[in-house]
């Protein structure tokens, strides 16, 4: 926020100075300086719009308990199609990925903001330490700043890739001893009331794009024609329509959040 404020304060000061010295060299210089600062100011606001939104939520919903689910998703695309896997808890196809895990340091932070375990999904060995919580709305801005700082939480997407694609033998382990990926961006849904959670919730996801080697790309391409129930390849239209296409007799259920990778 300090960068945004600095840009705007400087811009307003230069604009005021420009008006004071209209039709003079000083006026021309200050007006030029104002125009030079307006663009980065707008870009700074765009970069920090989620943080700004969270500050507003912290004030607007300060007394309410808000559910937060923070996950990472993989965009795996070959020949115009996206790889989705069948969910374990819910019978729909979804991107490879899952909820971030928190470390002991992260747990300390969450305890400090009074975070509670989310009861929407039962806590078991698989879901323990998931970044799926409920916190007082007043702490949303502080939580987002911590999350964006990446300290105290999982910060690599390999775990779910290995669990969902390698351990299940969908992809050969020998061809995928490691993966390269590129951070594609973050999608933070606007706060909304969830009848399932019986509370307001904020869903956020970091999207990573797989950058396969030539050998890995060929291994992925070999699965395009595979007839296996636990995964499938889908077009962007199928994902946007959540598996429902005009004139098609069969409906393949696709999770709503799969649209975040398209």
pLDDT tens for residues 204-249? Answer: 999 999 999 999 999 999 999 888 899 999 999 999 999 887 777 7
Q: What is the pLDDT of residue 14?
A: 45
Say which CATH topology domain 63-261 has: Nucleoside Triphosphate Pyrophosphohydrolase (3.90.79)
pTM as predicted: 0.79
**Residue 243 · residue 253 · CB < 8 Å:** yes
Of 100, 4, 1, the residue nearest 51 (C-alpha): 1
> 40 vs 240, which has greater pLDDT?
240
Over residues 184-188, the mean pLDDT reads: 95
Domain boundaries, the chain: 2-47, 63-261
Average pLDDT score, the chain: 86
Euclidean distance between CA atoms 91 and 254, whole angstroms = 9
Query: Which segments of the chain does DSSP mark as H helices, in order?
Result: 2-20, 25-47, 49-60, 104-112, 140-149, 158-161, 214-222, 236-240
Euclidean distance between CA atoms 101 and 159, whole angstroms = 10
- How would residue 89 be classed by pLDDT, with cut points 50, 70 and 90? confident
């Amino acid at each position: 926020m300090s960068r945004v404020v600095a840009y705007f304060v400087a811009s307003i000061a230069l604009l005021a100075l420009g008006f004071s010295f209209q039709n003079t060299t000083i006026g021309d210089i200050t007006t030029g300086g104002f125009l030079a600062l307006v663009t980065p100011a707008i870009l700074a606001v765009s970069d920090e719009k989620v943080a700004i939104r969270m500050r507003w939520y912290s004030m607007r919903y300060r007394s309410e308990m808000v559910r937060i689910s923070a996950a990472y998703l993989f965009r795996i695309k070959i020949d115009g199609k996206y790889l989705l896997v069948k969910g374990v808890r819910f019978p729909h196809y979804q991107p490879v990925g899952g909820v971030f895990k928190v470390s002991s340091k992260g747990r300390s932070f969450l305890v400090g903001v009074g975070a509670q375990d989310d009861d929407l999904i039962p806590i078991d060995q698989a879901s323990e330490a998931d970044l799926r919580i409920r916190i007082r709305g007043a702490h949303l801005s502080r939580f987002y700043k911590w999350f964006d700082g990446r300290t105290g939480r999982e910060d690599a997407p390999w775990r779910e890739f290995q669990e969902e694609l390698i351990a299940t033998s969908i992809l050969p382990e020998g061809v995928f001893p490691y993966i390269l990926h590129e951070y594609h961006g973050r999608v933070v849904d606007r706060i909304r009331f969830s009848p399932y959670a019986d509370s307001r919730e904020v869903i956020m996801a970091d999207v990573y794009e797989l950058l396969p080697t030539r050998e890995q790309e060929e291994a992925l391409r070999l699965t395009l024609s595979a007839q296996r129930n636990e995964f499938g390849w889908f077009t962007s239209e199928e994902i946007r329509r959540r598996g429902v296409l005009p004139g098609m007799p069969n409906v393949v259920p696709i999770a709503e959040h799969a649209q975040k990778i398209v």
